[in-house]
Amino acid sequence: MPFQSQKPYQFSSLLLSTLLCVPLSLQAQGPSTDTSTILRSAVFHHPVIDTRGMVVTQNAIASKVGAQILANGGNAVDAAVATGFALAVTLPRAGNIGGGGFMLVYLADKDQTIAIDYREKAPAAAHRDLYIDATGEIIPNDSRFTHRAAGVPGTVAGLHHALINYGTMQWADVVAPAIALADTGIIVSTDLAENLTRAKRRLANNLASAKKFYKDNTGNKDSNYQVGDLFKQPDLAQTLDRISVGGPEGFYTGRTAELIVADMQANNGLITMEDLASYQAVERKPVHGSYRGHDIVSMPPPSSGGIHVIQMLNVLENFDLKVAGQGSALYINRMAEVMKYAYADRSMHLGDPDFYEIPQEWLLDKSYAAKIATKIIAGKATPSDEILSGKPSNYESPDTTHFSIMDSAGNAVANTYTLNFSYGSGITIPGTGMLINNEMDDFSSKPGAPNAFGLLGDMANEIQPHKRPLSSMTPTFVFKDGKPWFVTGSPGGSRIISTVLQQIVNVIDFGMNSADSAAQPRLHHQWQPDQLQLETGFSPDTIQLLEVMGYDVKTVPRTWGAVQNILSQNELFFGGVDPRRADAGALGPDGLECLDNAVACRLP
């Protein structure tokens, strides 16, 4: 049945009631395969449990949209497409139709995993020296906050490709919830109100963004949306309606395309009607690996994440992390050294496989990993300059977004998509209600020069027409006994890869549940700059030991990432949302019954 909306949606109350509708006796999970033990486990962070599937996203409203699709008989792909469009309305800083991303799909009836690449592409007019001035220097912010920063969006094509090939529902029915949310409006949460206030200096510079995200165009304090206000997006509703009626053609040709190109032409942008009309999502062969008896399946290039997560796991297999202890100085030492080698390889060898021959087999070879392991000395930090050289800056935009979905038939989806920075370039295309991405910054504008995430690149990732920029997005499946067991992914720019790695280690090596794993403090080292970054939560004694080992430790005052985890065990689904992000939610069809009918959840 089509999704119908009759009232605006509230963030926080939905999340609270979602969590409350799961009996406390069922809100636990551990590594044991005995169901009674799972439900009795003493843990600090409790996942949400469901018997018929699970949707875990950074926004509880979008999770409810996906859970409703599952309850209506749709499969995980149907739910993923509806969720992806809903996030474009409810999480405007990252959810999108003006960006792109990657989707992993597992089809239980075929025992097959498909990787859908809907990453943005460089326009035909792009070239290697696009952001270089006459003196050979990079033009500040040209690849970040201008119309020239936009790649050709891929989200609409990617979601359509997934639904038509692997979904079961009608296109219009899965787009309908997003249209209703944009048209009827959502109630502004504390997180959304505060985020828009923080972003105002940048968003208000663009007239269409100011009109969309603030009550008037004056830029004064009174124009900010307040908690409890109704936030409607009529232009976005009309754009989504054209997509609903026309499919991808309703976005890549016709009125929407004309609006995009007109704004590009008026502001020195590069995207043309031909660029839009020729865009296609593509399927790629997922990357495969193994770790301590589990199969790891992840996204291939132009994602760098899958290859390097598996590469790092290959190295870590040579060490007993359990003996080291999660969060100990020795554990962090092992993880940081492994990360350095992987990020060094990333800078030299990764790019769009349609344009550059990537030494994938060598990077994933366990014998290569064993050689790296021999170079890692317990209790010693190897200077990054001894691995490779480079002195980049460091910046992190946290606002990509990931969602994970599993259904009762055994299908699974891990999807990560983005505008790149929070709110992309900050530019809304007039008349569309749609923010445009600034993904061109993910190319290497100049060999050896860092992008905004502090990541180095070389010729493998140089700008070329129609090329897809390298990405860190890492949607990942972990298989146990031949079936999807753990679904994970995260936003976080350069920290995505290290975040996903830690989720896999947490659940396999330390037996954590999906919520406990999401809540652990995180570490990150990306080779250059030679700096070990730690979230708050690590012991001061541990930090002292790391400094003695030779690390330049930086305790980051804010958190990063927003993992959305699902563990499937004993015919139950355990959803673990990241407590770092307000408004996130995990919900399945059983929990939906509780919300809609105010009765006990349909759980054993």
CA angle 562, 563, 564 (to 5 degrees): 120
CA angle 292, 295, 300 (to 5 degrees): 125
- What phi and psi, each to the nearest 5 degrees, are found at residue 394? -140, 125
Sign of the CA dihedral running 154, 158, 164, 165: positive
Task: Please report the DSSP string for 99-141 in residue order.
Answer: SEEEEEEEETTTTEEEEEEE--B--TT--TTTTB-TTSPBPTT
- Give SS3 for 275: helix
d(CA 287, CA 305): 10
Is 369:311 a contact under the CB 8 Å cutoff?
yes
Sign of the CA dihedral running 83, 59, 146, 221: positive
d(CA 461, CA 446): 10
Distance set, CA 220 to CA 214, 250, 508 (Å)? 10, 36, 51
Active site residues: 400
Q: Are strands 112-118 and 282-284 parallel, antiparallel or unpaired?
A: antiparallel
Q: Are strands 553-556 and 532-535 parallel, antiparallel or unpaired?
A: parallel
CA angle 177, 587, 5 (to 5 degrees): 25
